[in-house]
Chain A
Amino acid sequence: MAHRFRVWSVLAAVACCLLATAPAGAQPAAGDGSPTSSPWNVVILNDADPTLPAFVAIDRGIRAVLSAPGRHPVNVFPETLDLFRFRKSQIEAETVALLEHKFAGTQLHAVIALGAGSLGFAEAHRARLWPDARIVFSGVPVEWLRGRTLSPMTVGFPLQHDLTGTAELALRLQTGLRRLIVIAGSGEYDRIMTAVARSQLDAHYKTLAIEYWLDRPIADFLSGVAGLRSTDAVLYLSIARDSEGRTFVPRDVMHQLAEVSPVPIYGPAETYLGAGATAGRVYSLQERGRRTGELVQTLLSDPATPASALRPLTSTCVADARQLERFGMAGRLPGDCEVRFAPPSLWRDYPWHVLAALAIVLAQSALIFALVLQRRMRRRAEEEIQRRRMELGQASRLAVAGELTATIAHEINQPLGAILANAGAAESLLRRGTPAADEMREIIGAIKQADLRASEIIQRVRALVSAQPTERRFVEVNEVVAETLTLIKGEASRRRIVIDTALGPGLPPVMADRIQLHQALVNLCVNAMDAMNDTHVDHRRIEVATTAVDGGVEVTVSDSGSGIAPEHLRRLFDSFFTTKAQGTGLGLSIVRSIVEAHGGTLSAENRATGGATFRIVLPVHVAGEARSKDAVAGARATSPGGAPLPERTLPDAS
């Protein structure tokens, strides 16, 4: 942001400076140090309507030079002979008299003659009108100059028309061009142009057919052009007067022709571009004007300048973008061609501004992108931390449980071993005869003691399980199932067990301790996996399903093992009940503890299709937190039916 501010402020500063200095240049510098500070008087003489665009352009160029700041002061006198409209013979004498009268008291230093007519006039009446003036001509065809002698005071720029160049351009742009129609009117200027054309073109082209349409009424010109074929093109020279004597501004005729022409019209004049001409090799009028002005300056400041120091002008290729577009010729334009009238394009006119804006936008976009990325990375990192933390919690609990199991196993085995050994002793004694009652009493007492000790251990286990810091939150059961499956899928695939899930949609969230639910599900799944140890590899399948039930969520874990033997069903969830050779008998009882702590129910049944299904139903809400504390006491256990199971009692010795 700061950078952009800086750019604009610099631009503003520069603009201010420019504006400040501009007014200073507007004033004419009075007195530049030259000895004669009296201004030069210069007549600009043109032979047609001075408001014609061509003359306006030249005039602008001339004045720009003559009136430039720091130059010798100049008075400019524009005069017109208007020979396009009026025949020279009609008005000449009166014109001369008028001019003589006008400039009687004025010393004229230079006469700028624009056009052949003007030059002829200036030369002819030189002695009378401006004997001491330098005559500088411009816009006079070479052909007109040929064979005439000019006074030694006269120099100038012969007008060149690069008709050859224009015809070449036409051939290049129109690949199928066969015939070039050269159009010119009946006026004096028109005829001059025609002569120029003939001299330039006729000798040149053998393959290109050149046809001259001259001396026709304007309507014929228009209808003729309208009927041209695609292999034709038009080279329009000038129609200042048609055969019926109507006068025109040649440029306006260009307009009319362009409107009806189905083919490109090429024009050798700069002013035709923009009036409908497609392209042409032209001599920049303004440039011509400037050169003329320069020449006047030079001659007046240093009269000894040799006339042969003139250099001819070179034509430039100019094309109208709109016409190129219309005829589909944009691709064939030569590289040095100036394309005008292109639709205003931001890119073309202000490339640096556009680039700067683009660069700023790109920089901002990059910044935004980087920030968003960083944010996403941070969020992902946080999620990762959360997940790891949860995993750690889970892992530590499982580790505890694992250690627990080993410790429990070891501890439990002591009292159990004692019980068994005592029983064995009793048997032995009985076998050998009738043992003393005291001894029997001792044995029985030891057995009871050991049993109680075992009970204590179990209670401790249950307390440990239930007393883990419980965090009761609303959990999505399907999520917990998914997480559980992630935990066990490694082991499942190792045992070639396929896990199917049928997770019901739209389950209500359940108030539960996520970790404990995990534990319960893991135990059920491990149990299911163990049940299939003897099942054929191809038929090992666990299915975990969830559905919504009245007031809660039901989770089932089914296996395709051999099912539960009916005599085991009753004691399935008891502590230390196991059918496995290496089983601790604790897995399912832990599940029961957890389910009960959540106020749910746990049941198991055999499936008709083989294997067993364990069913947990979890209520959406648990009636009070006190539930978990009850589990710590470990006293009561409820069967699926809701009725409490008989408390563990031991037969009395007596």
Chain B
Amino acid sequence: MNEAVIHVVDDDPDMRAAITRLLRAEGYEVRSYTSVGEFLLNRTNGPGCLVLDLQMPGPNGLELQESLRSDPAAPPIVFLTGHGDIASGVQAMKNGAIDFLTKPVDPEVLLQAVTAALARDREMRDARARTAAVEARLSRLTVRERSVYERVIAGRLNKQIASELGITERTVKMHRAQIMAKMEAGSLAELVHIADLLGIPARSPVR
């Protein structure tokens, strides 16, 4: 089920069939669609990438790319078009396409692009997974632990934290140990790193 799927969207039947055949011959799992609409209707969140034609009836490839921009789980796109103009190519790349290829395409070149796209997809998924895991850990912290955590990553001394929060230094140390355990971090640096990753702002000392 976690096998990556290459989604081929092209309205030309010959082309669609040929690309599908090529990719399958290389051992990939391929699904093909005749239009953007068909793809969206059957979309899953599984791993994979898009091999996308530009000119199609209905929404064209660039429009699909545009609509997928806000979706972090969107598959990476390799454009494969018979009508390559510079403006489209530039726009496609600016909007984050993996590659912009023109038909007829050297099979090697297409395969390389697909490989890159799938790799990218894996990367992004892994990153997302990591983030999710860390977020889960963060949610284990109590409110008090959270406050301490924010001050710790700001580099404050235990003494200071204690006075700020109105607790004893000993309590602070205890909280610190709990945080380390829950966050599964081995050092202050790691805590800071996690905070960066999750976008938690450091609480600067009150002047």
Q: Which of A417, A422, A428, A435 contacts B82 (CB 8 A)?
A: A417
Scan B72-113; emit 1 where CB is below 8 A from any A CB, else 0: 000000001011000000000000000000111111101100
Question: Is A422 a contact partner of B18 (Cβ separation < 8 A)?
Answer: yes
Question: Is A425 a contact partner of B12 (Cβ separation < 8 A)?
Answer: no
Could you tell me the distance in whole angstroms from the C-beta of B114 to the nearest C-beta in chain A?
Answer: 12
Scan B1-40; emit 1 where CB is below 8 A from any A CB, else 0: 0000000000010110111011011110000000000000
Interchain CA distance A414-B26 in the complex, whole Å: 21
Q: Is A424 an interface residue (CB 8 A)?
A: yes
Known: A429-B25, A450-B18. A421 touches B82 (CB 8 A): no
Q: Which of B17, B104, B110 contacts A416 (CB 8 A)?
A: B104
Q: Which of A414, A424, A425 contacts B14 (CB 8 A)?
A: A414
Q: Is A413 an interface residue (CB 8 A)?
A: yes
Question: Is A419 a contact partner of B21 (Cβ separation < 8 A)?
Answer: no
What residue of chain B has the Cβ atom nearest to residue A422's Cβ?
B18
Contacts of B60 in A (CB 8 A): none
Known: A413-B103, A424-B107. A418 touches B18 (CB 8 A): yes
Interface residues of A in 402-447 (CB under 8 A from B): 406, 409-411, 413-429, 432, 435, 442-443, 446
Q: Is A607 an interface residue (CB 8 A)?
A: no
Interchain CA distance A54-B27 in the complex, whole Å: 145
Q: Is B158 an interface residue (CB 8 A)?
A: no
Known: A410-B82, A423-B107, A424-B107. A417 touches B15 (CB 8 A): yes
Question: Is B18 a contact partner of A425 (Cβ separation < 8 A)?
Answer: yes
Question: Is B55 a contact partner of A421 (Cβ separation < 8 A)?
Answer: no
Interchain CA distance A424-B101 in the complex, whole Å: 16
- Contacts between the two chains (Cβ within 8 Å), count: 88
Interchain CA distance A427-B110 in the complex, whole Å: 14
Known: A413-B83, A413-B103, A427-B107. A421 touches B15 (CB 8 A): yes
Known: A413-B83, A428-B107, A446-B14. A421 touches B102 (CB 8 A): no
Q: How many residues of B contact A (CB 8 A)?
A: 25
Contacts of B111 in A (CB 8 A): 424
Residues of A in contact with B, size category: 20 to 34
Question: Is A421 a contact partner of B22 (Cβ separation < 8 A)?
Answer: yes
Interchain CA distance A429-B111 in the complex, whole Å: 14
Which of the listed residues B19, B21, B80, B106 has the most CB atoms from chain A within 10 Å of its own CB?
B21
Which of the listed residues B14, B27, B82, B106 has the most CB atoms from chain A within 10 Å of its own CB?
B14
Question: Is A417 a contact partner of B104 (Cβ separation < 8 A)?
Answer: yes
Contacts of B80 in A (CB 8 A): 417
Q: Is A453 an interface residue (CB 8 A)?
A: yes
Question: Is B21 a contact partner of A414 (Cβ separation < 8 A)?
Answer: no
Interchain CA distance A419-B107 in the complex, whole Å: 11
Contacts of A406 in B (CB 8 A): 83
Contacts of B17 in A (CB 8 A): 418, 446
Q: Which of A420, A432, A446, A449 contacts B107 (CB 8 A)?
A: A420
Interchain CA distance A450-B17 in the complex, whole Å: 11
Interchain CA distance A410-B83 in the complex, whole Å: 5
Interchain CA distance A406-B83 in the complex, whole Å: 8
Interchain CA distance A442-B17 in the complex, whole Å: 10
What residue of chain B has the Cβ atom nearest to residue A443's Cβ?
B21
Question: Is B83 a contact partner of A415 (Cβ separation < 8 A)?
Answer: no
Contacts of B27 in A (CB 8 A): 432
Q: Which of A414, A424, A425, A449 contacts B103 (CB 8 A)?
A: A414
What residue of chain B has the Cβ atom nearest to residue A417's Cβ?
B103
Interchain CA distance A116-B83 in the complex, whole Å: 129
What residue of chain A has the Cβ atom nearest to residue B26's Cβ?
A428
Known: A414-B14, A415-B14, A449-B14. A421 touches B26 (CB 8 A): no
Question: Is A420 a contact partner of B21 (Cβ separation < 8 A)?
Answer: no
Known: A414-B12, A414-B14. A419 touches B25 (CB 8 A): no
Known: A417-B104, A420-B105, A421-B107. A410 touches B25 (CB 8 A): no
What residue of chain B has the Cβ atom nearest to residue A429's Cβ?
B25
Interchain CA distance A316-B203 in the complex, whole Å: 131
For this complex, 13 residue pairs linking A to B, each with C-beta atoms less than 8 Å apart, are A409-B82, A413-B104, A414-B82, A416-B103, A417-B105, A420-B103, A420-B106, A420-B107, A421-B18, A421-B19, A424-B25, A428-B25, A446-B18
Interface set of A (CB-CB < 8 Å, partner B): 406, 409-411, 413-429, 432, 435, 442-443, 446, 449-450, 453
Interface set of B (CB-CB < 8 Å, partner A): 12, 14-15, 17-19, 21-22, 24-27, 55, 80, 82-83, 102-108, 110-111
7 shortest A-B CB distances, which residue pairs?
A: A424-B107, A417-B103, A413-B82, A421-B18, A428-B25, A418-B14, A425-B22
